[in-house]
Amino acid sequence: MDTKTTDQVLNLIDKSQNILLLTHAKADCDGLGAMLSSYLVLKELGKNVTAVTNDPTPENLAFLPSVNMVQNSLMSSKDFIITLDLTNTALSKIKYNLEEDNRVNIIITPKGGVFTKEDVSFSQGNNKFDLIIIFDTGNLEHLGPIYDKNSELFFETPIINIDHHASNTDFGQVNIVDVVAASTTEVLFEIFEAMEKKYDKKFVTKDIATLLLAGIITDTGSFQHANTSPRSMEASARLLDLGGRQQEIIKNIYKTKKLSTLKLWGVVLSKVQVDPIYRMVWSTISREDLKEANASSEESEGIIDDLLTNAPGAEVIMLIKYNDGNYISVSMRSTTNSVDVGKISAEMGGGGHVRAAGYKVRDGRPFDQVVSEILEKVRQYQGERLSIHPEDVVGTRDLASESEDKPQPRDKGTTPQRSGKTTYLDFEGEKERKVGMRDLASKDEKEEKEGKKKRKRKPRTRKRTVKEKAPEKPKTVEAAATPAPVVEKPKPVAEAPVAPAPETVAPTPAVEPPITPEPAPEAMTPQPETAPPVPEAPVVPQPEVTPPTPEPVTPQPEVAPAPMTPQESAPSATPQPEVAPEPAPPTPAQPEAPAAPATPPQPETPPATPTPEPPKPEAEQPNVPDWLKSE
């Protein structure tokens, strides 16, 4: 704050004795707090002080210290004043009546005792003030009827203008307008500190600290609004140290609401409207709404800050309401510094800050007309700022209405379109629309992937069923392997007696074991070695091999000794010649073994390959002695 301007203010206060304090019509906590705190400080300096507002004090501000000292009207110089001294007698009631001869009788009834002529005095109204201090007011018209009925007073008396609104017109002879300050009480607190230094006296008491702190808290939305600064936080901290009652302020302003106020808030919320194209949110309060909620227009204070400003993405928030004084007021808020609602409000005859402003309509225009005018004005402002073309707006609104009624599915290869609901909640423009497109594309990709997965799952289940049958096949292979060692063992036995027959037996047993797994235990019972593999044979599903071979196996032991008689030395050594010499006749039965490959495994074909060898043993029999001779 400029020290020269502060010195001018202090000099004017020193020269003045009768001081008038004013604030704007429909006074709020900041205006009342500034006026009442100045009233107490000037009274401390011995000044004659008069504090006046155009309207009664709101109920939620009745807790402010010394609020009962505020008058609701300014006395005129044409008033005739009758003064009654109540020092000796208390007053019970006053009444008057009019007589036919145009005379008025004023009747005063005492509680006890009697009034005399000496107790009554007469005087002429006097509104001559040495100084006028106006708080939190952008221009003189905002004072309302006080200015309209006494305009000559404001041209005859010096005015000190103390405010923090950027729209202030500097109407005073001395103007302290600090647009950086969060509230008028924040500006006034610095003036009080300068007065304490000049007069070497403490002025900021607990009550004054509470009044100043109340103005800062309400104008910053309990330190939630963007105008909250380190300076305002530091001032609040010092006021708390000086005894400011912060919890009393919070309780009365934010935590105490009448039932009619809550009903009115519900009406406002039910009428909220959104324009996502121009990023606007607004609501209205008509005369019928006030009657329905049984509320007064003053009870709507705080709705725009507490409720409507919570709309995500909105840049302009408005509340258009009918007031009890038969006029319409428009309150405006902005959520970004790039939108100057103070400029819009000034063009409509009002004023305020970049992010908080308003104006009043008193010319009797219909409520609906006022609403349509301000909406058109804001759309024009936002259209120029956002470069919105009318044809784009029409197309987008048509799309929003169609999608709101019934969301249309998106076909592949077409541009994705957002649903109506999403469009109305979308305040981020093209960026958000691209995000919505990506979301739709990602959903389609997920659905396609899920479809592929489902298709792949079906063949997997089939493979699993095949795998379950697979264990039976290796068991059949094991069955072929188990009898093989029983026949292979005689190979070394055949070599030991050096008999020619064992060689012929060696190729044939590979063919016989798959043919005779079950009769093997009967023929091989004399051999203890065959006993352990016999239990394994039943474990294996042998029906695949047994159907072609059970009957030919039984005749083999009977036919076997006949061809083996010429060579008795080899059969005497081992019982295998009974199985070995006669494989030739079963060979035709083994071609049926290839039929077994009807089963999925074909490893049985290798044992089928040695099947052509059975005719060879007859040709090899003369060669057997040659082989023995070679040894």
Which among 32, 31, 49 has a CA at the least distance from the CA of 40?
Answer: 49
Let me know the angle formed at the C-alpha of 275 by 272 and 279, rounded to the nearest 5 degrees. Answer: 110
pLDDT tens by residue, 307-342 = 677 778 899 999 999 988 788 999 999 988 899 999
pLDDT tens by residue, 372-426 = 999 999 999 999 999 987 766 655 555 444 544 444 444 444 444 443 433 344 4
AA identity, residue 345:
S
Q: Which residues on neighbouring strands pair with residue 70, listed in sequence order? A: 51
Q: Is the pLDDT of residue 601 over 80?
A: no
Neighbours of 375 (CB within 10 A): 18
pLDDT tens by residue, 344-368 = 999 998 888 888 889 999 888 999 9
Which among 374, 130, 387 has a CA at the least distance from the CA of 273?
Answer: 374
Give me the phi and psi of 170, to 5 degrees please.
Answer: 55, 55
Burial of 575 (0-12, 13-18, 19+ CB in 10 A): middle
Query: In the chain, what are the domain boundaries?
Result: 3-78+127-253, 80-124, 258-388, 405-470, 483-547+609-616+623-631
Q: Is the pLDDT of residue 434 over 90?
A: no
Contact by Cβ (8 Å): 20, 52: yes
CATH hierarchy code of domain 3-78+127-253:
3.90.1640.10
The pLDDT assigned to 509 comes to: 45
The stretch 273-298 carries a mean pLDDT of 92
Contact by Cβ (8 Å): 162, 184: yes
Contact by Cβ (8 Å): 330, 317: no
Q: Model pTM?
A: 0.55
Q: Is the pLDDT of residue 477 over 50?
A: no
Contact by Cβ (8 Å): 45, 19: no
pLDDT band at 111 (very low <50, low <70, confident <90, very high): confident
The pLDDT assigned to 421 comes to: 38
**Alpha-carbon dihedral of residues 230, 235, 239, 241, nearest 10 degrees?**
60
The stretch 171-195 carries a mean pLDDT of 95
Which among 327, 367, 339, 340 has a CA at the least distance from the CA of 166?
Answer: 340
The pLDDT assigned to 126 comes to: 64
**462-501 b/e (C-beta count within 10 Å ≥ 16 → b):** eeeeeeeeeeeeeebeebbebbbebbebbbebbeeeebbb
* Per-range mean pLDDT, top range of 30-44, 51-65, 450-464: 30-44
Q: Is the pLDDT of residue 547 over 70?
A: no
Tell which wins on pLDDT, 185 or 583.
Answer: 185
pLDDT band at 107 (very low <50, low <70, confident <90, very high): confident
What percentage of residues in the chain have a pLDDT greater than 90? 38
Q: Which CATH architecture has domain 258-388?
A: Roll (3.10)
